[in-house]
């Protein structure tokens, strides 16, 4: 069953070009100059129940706009979308009770109050049964290890603790679909790890459908089987994380350790030399000739150790983005 279905979803908005000076800004009251920004241009996407999908893309690629469209915060310019059978921008209460949006850079808890009080407000707004509320809250605070922080004003919490509290607020009504926009942004490594572990376990238990955007490849690698790469408002890739490498990276990284003083003077016939630290050499070799080159290397030279690695994911993806930019400019 598909939980999310997008067809040719497009969002264009206008930015008012503000002019300097009094006369110009007075003139701006009557005649304004606009610039059209195509944030999302024709996205097709289907997500099945229980999938954990990552949205990758550079800033301004349209990730957040897509999440906002899906949560019904903004209206699309054209195209259709269905989430749990609802059109998000109709903003039916029945729909709004079944999903949640967490934005890493925004907080929705009352700053000066203990998180507990904000949760109670959520209970009223989402009409969560008292028994259900207590049980869910207990479970979530247990999983995140923040039970003793419930009575502390939010402003006194660390960034990581606050993010955990935000997550709890979003999950109290047990949403079936969860949108996470940069949930680990600005957190230290340990807090990032904790949040990640929590999301993984939570998703495993509840089979919640989750869409996540993140800048941290570790988030993506740890959590999502499926990756959607967005650049310039369009989907560039949709598939497994490993598939990105197959598709976009034509190389492997081969590191060779030669026997003492046996390093050949010229290795250029085998591949592109990335780094030489005698007796070690790092080569970039075309994916489809790796086996053949390695065989001839091992037969011609005395090699003590070999490792074959995929290129770093960050680099490959950065490469995909810059390629998308180039093709757009061309």
112 interacts with another protein by CB under 8 A: yes
CB of 316 to another protein, least distance (A): 28
Instruction: Between 101 and 231, name the residue whose CB sits nearer to another protein.
Output: 101
Helix (H) or strand (E) holding 254: strand 251-258
3 state SS for 205-249:
HHCCEEEEECCCHHHHHHHCCEEEEEECCEEEEEEEHHHHHHHHC
C-alpha span between 173 and 136 (Å, rounded): 8
State yes or no: residue 222 binds another protein (CB under 8 A): no
120 sits near another protein (criterion: CB under 8 A) = yes
The distance of closest approach from Cβ of residue 94 to another protein in the complex, given in angstroms and rounded to an integer, is: 7
Q: How far is CA 276 from CA 251, 255, 256, 265, 283, in A?
A: 18, 10, 10, 11, 9
Nearest distance, CB of residue 249 and another protein, angstroms: 32
Question: How far is it, in rounded angstroms, from Cα 67 to Cα 75?
Answer: 12
In sequence order, what are the residues at sequence separation of 6 or more whose Cβ sits closer than 8 angstroms to the Cβ of residue 228?
A: 45, 53, 54, 55, 56, 235, 237, 238
Is 150 a binding residue for another protein by CB under 8 A? The answer is no
- Rule CB under 8 A: say whether 86 interacts with another protein: no
Among 51, 71, 194, 196, binds another protein (CB under 8 A): 71
CB 69 within 8 A of CB 89: yes
State which of positions 236-275 bind another protein (CB under 8 A): none
Stretch touching another protein by CB under 8 A, among 105-113, 182-190, 198-206, 215-223? 105-113
> 26-65: which residues touch another protein (CB under 8 A)?
26, 37, 39, 64-65
The binding track of 153-192 with respect to another protein, each residue x by CB under 8 A or -, is x---------------------------------------
For another protein, the binding residue among 3, 4, 6, 11 (CB under 8 A) is 11
Number of Cβ within 10 Å of residue 288's Cβ equals: 8
Could you tell me the two tokens for 70?
Answer: 């899906």
Which residues bind to another protein, rule: CB under 8 A?
Answer: 11, 13-14, 22, 25-26, 37, 39, 64-65, 68, 71-75, 77, 89, 91, 93-97, 99-101, 103, 106, 108, 110, 112-113, 117-118, 120-121, 124-127, 153
């Amino acid at each position: 069953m598909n939980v999310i279905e997008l067809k040719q979803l497009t969002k264009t908005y206008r930015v008012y070009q503000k002019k300097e000076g009094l006369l110009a800004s007075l003139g701006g009251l009557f005649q304004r100059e606009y610039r059209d920004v195509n944030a999302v241009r024709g996205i097709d996407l289907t997500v099945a129940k229980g999938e954990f999908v990552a949205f990758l893309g550079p800033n301004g690629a349209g990730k957040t706009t897509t999440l906002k469209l899906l949560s019904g915060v903004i209206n699309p310019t054209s195209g259709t979308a269905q989430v749990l059978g609802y059109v998000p921008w109709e903003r039916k209460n029945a729909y709004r009770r079944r999903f949640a949006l967490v934005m890493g850079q925004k907080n929705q808890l009352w700053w000066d109050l203990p998180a507990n009080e904000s949760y109670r407000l959520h209970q009223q707004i989402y009409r969560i049964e008292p028994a259900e509320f207590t049980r869910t809250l207990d479970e979530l605070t247990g999983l995140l290890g923040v039970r003793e922080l419930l009575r502390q004003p939010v402003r006194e919490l660390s960034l990581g603790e606050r993010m955990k509290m935000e997550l709890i607020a979003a999950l109290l009504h047990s949403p079936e679909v969860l949108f996470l926009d940069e949930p680990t942004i600005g957190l230290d490594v340990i807090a990032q790890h904790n949040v990640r572990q929590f999301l993984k376990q939570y998703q495993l238990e509840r089979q919640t459908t989750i869409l996540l955007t993140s800048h941290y490849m570790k988030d993506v690698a740890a959590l999502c089987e499926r990756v959607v790469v967005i650049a310039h408002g369009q989907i560039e890739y949709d598939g497994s994380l490993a598939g990105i490498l197959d598709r976009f990276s034509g190389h492997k990284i081969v590191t060779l350790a030669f026997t003492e003083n046996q390093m050949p003077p010229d290795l250029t016939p085998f591949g592109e030399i990335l780094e030489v630290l005698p007796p070690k050499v790092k080569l970039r070799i075309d994916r489809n000739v790796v086996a053949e080159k390695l065989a001839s290397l091992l037969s011609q030279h005395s090699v003590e150790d070999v490792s074959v690695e995929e290129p770093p994911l960050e680099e490959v993806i950065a490469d995909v983005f810059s390629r998308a930019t180039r093709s757009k400019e061309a």
